[in-house]
Amino acid sequence: MSAEPQETELETVRYAVSGPVALIALNRPDSLNAFDAALRRDLLDALRRAEQDEAVRVVVLAGEGRAFSAGADLRAGVPGEDVTRVLNEEFKPSIDAIMRSAKPFVAAIHGACAGIGAAYALACDLAVMEEDAYIYQAFAAIGLVPDGGNHWHLVRALGYKRAYQAIVEAPRITAEECLRAGMVNKVVPAGQARAAALEWAARLAQGAPRTLRYAKQILRAAEGGDFETTFRLEAELQALCAGSEDTRNAVAAFFRKEKPVFTGA
C-alpha cells in the first residue's frame, strides 16, 4: 500500500484504503481480536464500505496485535438460546459479505486463528499465513461444535475423516498443514503476513476487474453446482468479458507486446 492510505477508525476495526486495495483489520488486540457485539457491527460496516467503493478492487483482512482472531469473546458468557440469533443476524451477514462480494479477499493470518475467527479467514478467497501461526477449532474443549461455516470449509479442505478429527480432537493446524491441505496459498516468515498480503493484493488489483469478479462468482457457484450449470455460467460471463473494452484493449496490447492497463470498462 502507499505511504499515506486513507484511514477510517471505527471502534473495533481499522479500515484503510490505498489505491485499489482496502485493508480491514480487526482491532481488539487486548482480547486477541475476539468477537464481541461491537466488532461484529464494525466489521460489517467496513465490509460494506469496501464493497461500495468502486475504486477498491481487492480487500485484505487482517488482525491487529498478536493474533488474527481468538474467535468469539467468551468473557460475556456463552449466549445460550440466543446463539442462533447472534449467528444468523450478527455473524452471517459479514461472512456472506466476504463470500458474496464481487471483490477478492486475501486473509493475512498471524498468531492464533481460532473458532469463528477461523471461519472469517477460511471465507476469504486467498490466504497468506505466517509460519508460526495456526488454525484452531477450539469448540470441543467447551462442549460446542464449530460454527460460522467452519464445518463447510473444513470438510472441503480436509475431507470428512480429517475434518471430524480436527473438530473433536481440536489440534492446532499448523501453517504447513494448512498449506498442504489448500486452506492457505502461501506461508511466509513470522511478522510478514500482512505485508505479503498487501503486496499480493496490489498485484492482483492490476488485473482485469471482470476476471477477478467472475472467476470468484463461477468458483463459488461450482462448489455447490454441477458441471452443466458451471459450463453455462462460464459461457454467459465469458461473453461479458469478450465484449468489454478492457478485453479489446488487452488483445491490442498483446499484439503490440505491451502490458495492458485494465480499467473495468
Number of neighbouring beta carbons within 10 Å of residue 77: 7
* 244 and 145 assigned to the same domain: no
Pairing of strands 58-63, 105-109: parallel
Q: Is residue 40 part of a domain?
A: yes
pLDDT of residue 7: 86
In a domain, 140, yes or no: yes
CA atoms within 13 A on the CB side of 116: 22
Q: Of 185, 204, 223, at which residue does a domain stop? A: 204
Is the same domain home to 164 and 231? Answer: no
Q: Same domain, yes or no, for 184 and 246?
A: no
Strands (E), 96-209: 105-109, 112-114, 126-130, 134-136, 172-174, 186-188
The residue among 171, 187, 204 that closes a domain is 204
Q: How many CA atoms lie within 13 A of 110 on its CB side?
A: 23
Q: Is the pLDDT of residue 2 over 80?
A: no
pLDDT at site 5: 75
Residues 66 and 168 placed together within one structural domain of the fold: yes
Residues 108 and 216 in one domain: no
Whether 46 has a pLDDT exceeding 50, the answer reads yes
Q: What is the pLDDT of residue 171?
A: 94
Residue 225 pLDDT exceeds 80:
yes
Residue 260 counted as domain residue:
no
- Distance in Å from the first CA to the final CA of the chain: 24
Does 38 fall in a domain? yes
Domain boundary among 166, 186, 204: 204
State pLDDT tens for residues 75-99. Answer: 876 667 789 999 999 999 999 999 9
pTM for this prediction: 0.94
Tell me the residue type at 115.
G
Indicate if 164 and 46 belong to the same structural domain.
yes
Task: Assess if residue 237 is contained within a domain.
Answer: yes
Is the residue at 61 inside a domain? Answer: yes
Give the domain range for residue 120.
Answer: 6-204
Can you give the pLDDT at residue 1?
Answer: 46
114 backbone dihedrals φ, ψ, rounded to 5°: -120, 155
Answer yes or no: are the C-beta atoms of 175 and 118 closer than 8 Å: no
Q: How far apart are CA 152 and CA 116, in angstroms?
A: 13
Q: Is 265 within a domain?
A: no
What mean pLDDT, rounded, does the chain reach?
95
- One domain, residues 196 and 215: no
Residue pair 129/175 in contact by the 8 Å Cβ criterion: yes
* Shared-domain flag, residues 138 and 250: no
Q: What is the pLDDT of residues 105-151, one digit of tens each?
A: 999 999 999 999 999 999 999 999 999 999 999 899 999 999 999 99
Residue 172 lies inside a defined structural domain of this protein: yes
Rounded Cα gap, residues 191 and 46, in angstroms: 24
Percent of the chain with pLDDT over 70: 97
Residues 162, 168: Cα–Cα separation, whole Å: 10
Q: Distance between CA atoms of 72 and 92, rounded to whole angstroms?
A: 13
Domain count, the chain: 2
Nine-digit cell string for 38: 461491537
**What pLDDT is attached to residue 260?**
86
Q: Which residue has the cell 466488532?
A: 39
Please tell me the predicted confidence (pLDDT) of residue 263: 86
